Amino acid sequence: DGGITQSPKYLFRKEGQNVTLSCEQNLNHDAMYWYRQDPGQGLRLIYYSQIVNDFQKGDIAEGYSVSREKKESFPLTVTSAQKNPTAFYLCASSFPVGDGVETQYFGPGTRLLVL
């Protein structure tokens, strides 16, 4: 089955700790994205990557880092610099810009909580 997987489903972070959220897709999509969802707000873009070994900051990149070493994988690290990390994190992927509508498809999400 083609799709996007995110792990873990729930993640707990201690003060001063970096944590990494996993996102994997087997849809052969070149582009991948990370969004953050807070209660009462829509999704906001953290980082995006159009091709392997390249990524760009979104609207709320401070306190986050990413890597894109493989087409299938786009992990997100929430660093200790992110002072309010409690949120629901969604990964998405799409075909790259220029291939049409480039509809984004989403993974099931990771809920991050601070202890």
Partner 1 sequence: AQTVTQSQPEMSVQEAETVTLSCTYDTSESDYYLFWYKQPPSRQMILVIRQEAYKQQNATENRFSVNFQKAAKSFSLKISDSQLGDAAMYFCAYREYYGGATNKLIFGTGTLLAVQP
* Residue 72 DSSP symbol: T
Nearest to 90 by CA among 13, 4, 30: 4
Question: Does residue 94 touch partner 1 according to CB under 8 A?
Answer: yes
Here the tokens at position 41 are 């707000």
Q: Is the dihedral of CA 93, 9, 87, 84 positive or negative?
A: negative
Question: Does residue 105 touch partner 1 according to CB under 8 A?
Answer: yes
Cis before 96 (ω within 30): no
Question: Does residue 2 touch partner 1 according to CB under 8 A?
Answer: no
> Among the candidate windows 16-24, 62-70, 72-80, 102-110, which touches partner 1 by CB under 8 A?
102-110
Question: Does residue 19 touch partner 1 according to CB under 8 A?
Answer: no
- Least distance CB 27 / partner 1 (angstroms): 13
- Least distance CB 74 / partner 1 (angstroms): 14
Task: Give the CB-side neighbour count of residue 44, counting CA atoms within 13 A.
Answer: 13
CB–CB of 76/23 below 8 Å? Answer: yes
Residues 23-62 that bind partner 1 (CB under 8 A): 31, 33, 40-45, 48, 50, 56, 58-59
Footprint on this chain of partner 1 (rule: CB under 8 A): 31, 33, 40-45, 48, 50, 56, 58-59, 88, 90, 92, 94, 96-97, 101-109
